[in-house]
Amino acid sequence: MRRFVAFAVQGQSGPLPALLAISVLAYALLSLLPEGGFVASLCGNLTIGAVWFYISAVPWSWAVGPLAADWGLMIVAMMTPLVAPQVARIVWASRRERQLIAAAIFLLGYWAIWFLTIVVLFPAAMFVTWVFGPDLDLVAALAVALVWSASPLAQRARNLCHRTRPIRAFGPGVLIDSAQRGLSVGASCIAACWPWMLVPIAVQSVHVATMILVGAYLFADRIAPPAPATWRLPPAFETLCGSSRPWLRFRFGTRFGQIRQFNLSRRTGRLVPRQH
Amino acid sequence: MTRTRMDIAALGGPWSDTMEWYARAVGELRSRPFDDRTSWVYIGALHGIDRPGWIAQGIVPSTIPWPVPGPLSDRYNQCQHAGWFFLPWHRGYLFALEAILADWIAREGGPEDWALPYWNYLDDTNPDARDIPQEFLDPTMPDGSANPLADALRGPATRLGPQSWIPADITLSAQTSETVYTAIPGTLGYGGPISGYSQFGNGYGANESNPHNLVHVMIGGDNSSAPQGWMYDPNFAALDPIFWLHHCNVDRLWEAWMSDPTHVQEIGAAWRNGPFPTQFTMPDPAGSLWVFVPDETLPGAPLAPTYDSLTSGTGIAPAAASGTIVMVTTTSPPAGGGRAALVGASSAALTVTRSPVHTSIRMTDLSPSALGVAASAAGPATGRLYLNLEGVKGKSPSGVVNVILTAPGADPNAAGPDATRTVALFGLANATSAEGPHGGSGLSATIEITDIVRNLQTANPDELEAHVALPEGGGDSEITIERISIYARRDQ
């Protein structure tokens, strides 16, 4: 638990609190929507028949707007906290007066490319439902996501997510580079996380709660450090254990919370703990 | 029982009792197989391993299992560089090897309190301090047997100092110029910027830059042969027995730095508990694994070493003032106060070869008063300027670049040695690889340029020019730099 607390302390610095606030706001908006929103009403029900019903029964202009808005909120809620290190890098690489706009452009690029995955992920979810049926699609989506997370391809994508690059500091290059970084980090993030988006789409109820759980899982996956691209236990499990080797013991025990004071011995030139 | 690490020059060598036991123990560990956690090769792999390279050089047989299945494989390649865990991780690493060596030495009838010696290469009272100790050069030990301490691939240098491939000298500047452990991004701190678990993070600390990186490159490199010396490559470095004496001195410099009451050691919770979730793992003499956090490496804690002197060759004056040391609690960022801001940057990436290339650095305002580096009636200047080489990538295990800062259009050859900075990039190839555990971000290196900018005569306050080249006597392995930036720090 101490290590979780220490991580929370570490998270207080940098942009993570702001990104979490954006995420919470998006979750709150989603939960305020009737039935969790338009996407939620489709979730767990993505059969060809259901989709045909929506296409034929709901006016096109009425359906597209809410669907896009809900999907956008899902992306913002679940994916925003994952890019705290990249946003931090963008901020400190920018001149003070451009930091906010650079971070905003980065996030817009990141959200935009994630948003486009609706074109692929909804048909994929329909395919999973068609193959496994509405009773088993959640299990199938979870299985696909876990196997993918354990794969070398996913680890390679996660490594790319961790990559940071500087941006230009003057002129329109600030905006161009910020957008380009957002798009490239988003593309890597999609490669690492895409099957996990099938999970909330596959549940019929507690849609927002499922999104929160999956979002937390992806956050845990992302804060594990880069690693060789081999088959492995998904890194989220390492994070949730609070250690990569929870079975190992501290040899000496930690002294967390203790502030030490020392005297420098004039005779030996060594530091000696001060006796209280 | 207290183990006291001694200056090798004070042991009465060459081939003092301490060094002879060290050599014998290294020979014993070298005889142990890779799957023995107390073997020389296993401990070396904890720092870094290049399996094909190790096999090609006959360090391990081609039959070693790889990758080790499951989560156990991430014990290798643990070394923490270019970040704020560099110093505590290496302190734990030294402790682990010392315990394994001492255990064998005691069982063989050697001294019960045997400890690793340190190489006090910056002791200006000893004219031979910079020479590689004779024990690491002799082909045989006093009894005529092969000397395990000389069994390492090294460059041609036998003395630390400027070489044709690295025209820079080791100094103790870090000991006094940086008074705060944690670096504000874009500037230097003694121990480096905030980082997570990262074999190669995003920026070197002052101690790591000089003398640590320079000594590695001076001993291991000449950039003319392949493969390079082991010390030049983090995936081989810990196999060289001299690595451990070098790191004992680097560790002692940190201990000495902490003993100065004006210095601010980072002891915020995030630092003391180490990276999350991956932890530092070491073997004990029985071959069992244990984990540690940086908190356990601070003075008075179990992993803290004892040195015979914290003043000889450390740049720290003996027993200053009251002689009372207080570990100041700090949190990050920014530890110890101060703030920094980007004040200039290049707009295009550079490809660096032996032929100098240059790039313009656009500045917000170059006037010394604007940058806070000019003294005024109110008192001395409180600002400092730092040049950052960001996103540095290359194929060589380590690299060296020269940077000259001039006014626009000025001849860099007329700039003089004071305007030249040489940067050693230890672990360049590792930080460049996107396939491995580094994400391919490359390295960042920070150098202070306050004096250079203060002395620049320029009519254009909005621009500087950076000239970058590989040293004349070095190799020709290309290096790319994504951005060169300048940050101004104002200390509070």
Q: How far is the alpha carbon of B358 from chain A, nearest alpha carbon, in Å?
A: 17
CB contacts, 8 Å: A164 with chain B: 202, 439, 441
Question: Testing the interface with A: which of B273, B432, B482 to mutate, by most A Cβ within 10 A?
Answer: B273
In a domain, A178, yes or no: yes
Check B202 against A164: CB less than 8 A apart: yes
Q: Do the domains spanning B4-307 and B339-490 agree at the CATH topology level?
A: no
Chain A hits for B301, Cβ within 8 Å: 252, 255, 260
From start to end of chain A, where are the E strands?
A: 261-264, 271-273
Which residues of chain B carry a pLDDT beneath 50?
69-72, 74, 321-336
Q: Which residues in chain B touch residue A230, judged by CB atoms under 8 angstroms apart?
A: 67, 73
Q: Are B206 and B174 in contact (CB under 8 A)?
A: yes
Interface of B with A in 391-410 (CB under 8 A): 391
Q: Specify if A10 maps to a domain.
A: no
How far is residue B78's CA from residue A114's CA, in Å, rounded to a whole number? 33
Nearest CA in chain B to A96: B341
Instruction: Report yes or no on A47 lying in a domain.
Output: yes
Report the residue from B272, B309, B332 with minimal CB separation from A269: B309
Give the nearest partner residue to A248 out of B196, B275, B281, using CB atoms: B281
Cβ contact, residue pair A271, B300, below 8 Å: yes
- A13–B332 CB contact, under 8 Å: yes
Chain B CB contacts of A226 below 8 Å = 198, 436-439
| SS3 call for B166 | strand
Is the model more confident about B186 or about A41? B186
Taking an 8 Å cut-off on Cβ atoms, the answer to whether B273 and A256 are in contact is yes
Give A243's contacts in chain B (Cβ within 8 Å): 277-279, 291
Rounded to an integer, the average pLDDT of A240-245 is 64
Q: Which residues 173-212 of chain B have a CB within 8 Å of chain A?
A: 185-186, 194, 196-198, 202
- What are the DSSP calls for A136-199, one per residue? HHHHHHHHHHHHHHHSHHHHHHHHHHH-------STTHHHHHHHHHHHHHHHHHHHHHGGGGHH
Containing A61, the helix (H) or strand (E) segment is helix A60-79
The answer as to whether A256 is a domain residue is no
Contact yes or no for A182/A107 (Cβ under 8 A) = yes
Contact B301 A255 (CB under 8 A): yes
Closest-CA residue to B449 (of B366, B375, B354, B377)? B366
What is the DSSP-derived secondary structure letter of residue B376? B
Amino acid A243: pLDDT: 58
CB contact under 8 A, A244 and B270: no
Taking the CA of residue A125 and the nearest CA in chain B, the distance in Å comes to 31
Contact criterion met (CB below 8 Å) for B471 and B402: yes
Range with the largest mean pLDDT of A8-22, A67-81, A103-117: A103-117
The complex scores an ipTM of 0.82
pLDDT of res. B44: 96
Contact call for B325 and A264, based on CB within 8 A: yes
- Please count the residues of chain B: 492
The 8-class DSSP code of residue A49 comes to H
Between chains, do A254 and B269 touch, taking CB under 8 Å as contact? no
The answer to whether A273 contacts B291, with C-beta atoms less than 8 Å apart, is no
* Token pair belonging to A141: 């989506």
Which of A254, A259, A263, A265 to probe by mutation at the B interface, max B CB count within 10 Å?
A254
Whether the Cβ atoms of residue B446 and residue B387 lie closer than 8 Å to each other: yes
CA dist A185 and A158 (Å) reads 10
- Contact criterion met (CB < 8 Å) for B258 and A271: yes
Q: Does A13 touch chain B (CB under 8 A)?
A: yes
Region class of B32: left (phi > 0), else alpha (psi between -120 and 50), else beta: beta
Interface of A with B in 231-270 (CB under 8 A): 232-233, 238-239, 241-245, 248-252, 254-256, 259-266, 269-270
Question: How many domains are contained in chain A?
Answer: 1
Whether the predicted pLDDT of A171 surpasses 60: yes
CATH class of B4-307: mainly alpha
Which candidate from B296, B311, B331 shows the least CB-CB separation from A269?
B311
For chain B, the structural domain boundaries read 4-307, 339-490
Candidates A164, A171, A241; nearest CB to B441 = A164
Extended strands (E) in B241-376: 280-283, 289-292, 306-307, 324-326, 339-345, 350-352, 357-363
Instruction: Report the residue of chain A nearest B335, measured CA to CA.
Output: A13
- The secondary structure of B284-312 as a DSSP string is -TTS-EEEE-GGGGSTTSTT--EES-SST
* Chain B partners within 8 Å of A225 (Cβ): 196-198, 275, 278, 437
Chain B residue numbers with beta carbons less than 8 Å from the beta carbon of A169 are 342, 344-345, 347, 362, 485
Tell me the shortest Cα–Cα distance from A3 to chain B, in angstroms.
7
Dihedral sign for Cα A174, A179, A182, A188, please: negative
Q: How many residues does chain A have?
A: 276
Domain region containing A23: 18-240
Cβ pair B45, B134 in contact under 8 A = no
pLDDT for residue A276 is more than 50:
no
* Gyration radius from chain B CA atoms: 22
Report strand pairing: B182-183 vs B192-193: parallel
Name the more confident of B119 and A165.
B119
**Residue A235 falls within a domain, yes or no?**
yes
Secondary element (H or E) of residue B151: none
pLDDT of residue B70: 44
> Closest to A170 (Cβ–Cβ): which among B74, B362, B391?
B362
A114 closest CA partner among A182, A207, A35, A206: A182
Query: Which pLDDT value is given to residue A38?
Result: 60
Query: A256, B270: Cβ pair inside 8 Å?
Result: no
State the pLDDT at residue A124.
Answer: 79
Give residue-wise pLDDT tens across range A118-161: 888 877 777 777 777 766 678 888 999 999 999 999 999 998 99
pLDDT band for A246, please (50, 70, 90 cuts).
low
- Best CATH choice for the domain B339-490 from the list 2.40.128, 3.30.110, 2.170.120, 2.60.120: 2.60.120
Under an 8 A CB cutoff, do A255 and B324 touch? no
Structure tokens at A246: 């929870």
Let me know the angle formed at the C-alpha of B104 by B102 and B109, rounded to the nearest 5 degrees. 95
pLDDT of B440-472, one tens digit each? 889 999 999 988 888 876 666 688 999 999 988
Q: What's the gap in Å between the CA of A19 and the closest CA on chain B?
A: 18
Judge contact between B485 and B345, C-beta under 8 A.
yes
Does any CB of chain A come closer than 8 Å to the CB of residue B81?
no
State the Cα–Cα distance between residues B262 and B241, nearest whole angstrom. Answer: 35
Partner residue facing A228 (CB), from B194, B362, B437: B437
A271 at the B interface (CB within 8 A)? yes
Contact predicate B491/B382, CB 8 Å: yes
Going through B346-427 in order, the beta strands assigned E by DSSP cover 350-352, 357-363, 383-394, 398-406, 420-426
Is there a contact between B281 and A164 if contact means CB atoms under 8 Å apart?
Answer: no
Q: Quick one: pLDDT band at residue A256, thresholds 50, 70, 90?
A: very low
Instruction: Note whether B204 and B85 are within 8 A (CB).
Output: no
A10: left (phi over 0), alpha (psi -120 to 50) or beta: alpha
What are the CA-CA distances from residue B342 to residues B459, B463, B474 (Å)? 21, 14, 32
Is B379 at the interface with chain A, CB within 8 A? no
CB contact under 8 A, B391 and A166: yes
Please indicate if any CB of chain B lies within 8 Å of the CB of A91.
no
Q: Which of B69, B79, B310 is nearest to B201 (CA)?
A: B79
Strand, coil or helix: A15:
coil
Degrees, nearest 5: CA angle B379-B385-B391: 165
> What single-letter amino acid sits at B209?
S
Name the B residues in 51-80 with CB < 8 Å from any A CB.
67, 70-71, 73-74
